[in-house]
Amino acid sequence: MHLLLCTDGTPASVSATTFGAFLATSLRAQVTVLQAPAGHPWEHLAARAAAAVRDELTEAGLNCQVVSRSEFPRQAIVSQSAKGQYDIVVLGLLERGSWLRRWLRGPSTRRVLQQVATPVLVVPADRPALRRILLCSGDLWYPAETIDLVGQIAHACKAEVTLLYVVPKPPLEYPMLHEIEDNWGALLQMDNPQAHNLRAGREALRKFGLETLVSLRHGTVIGQIIDEIHTGEYDLVALGSTYAAHSLHRFFEASITDRVVERANRPVLVVRHQHTSDKG
Helix axes 14-27, 144-157, angle to 10 degrees: 80
Residue-level length of the chain: 280
Q: Report the pLDDT value the prediction gives residue 268, as an integer from 0 to 100.
A: 95
Q: Report the pLDDT value the prediction gives residue 160, as an integer from 0 to 100.
A: 95
Q: Report the pLDDT value the prediction gives residue 270, as an integer from 0 to 100.
A: 92
Q: Report the pLDDT value the prediction gives residue 256, as an integer from 0 to 100.
A: 83
138 neighbors 257 (Cβ within 8 angstroms): yes
Four-residue CA torsion sign, 251, 226, 154, 63: positive
The answer to whether the pTM exceeds 0.85 is no
- Is the domain 132-278 a CATH 3.40.50.10490 member? no
35 neighbors 7 (Cβ within 8 angstroms): yes
| CA 252/CA 248 separation, integer angstroms | 7
Which CATH number is 2-122 given? 3.40.50.620
**Segment 40-75, tens digit of pLDDT:** 566 788 888 999 999 999 999 999 999 988 888 888
Task: Report, as ranges of residue numbers, the positions in the chain whose pLDDT lies below 70.
Answer: 38-42, 95-107, 137-141, 168-194, 241-254, 273-280
Q: Report the pLDDT value the prediction gives residue 211, as an integer from 0 to 100.
A: 80
Domains in the chain: boundaries = 2-122, 132-278
| Topology match between the domains 2-122 and 132-278 | yes
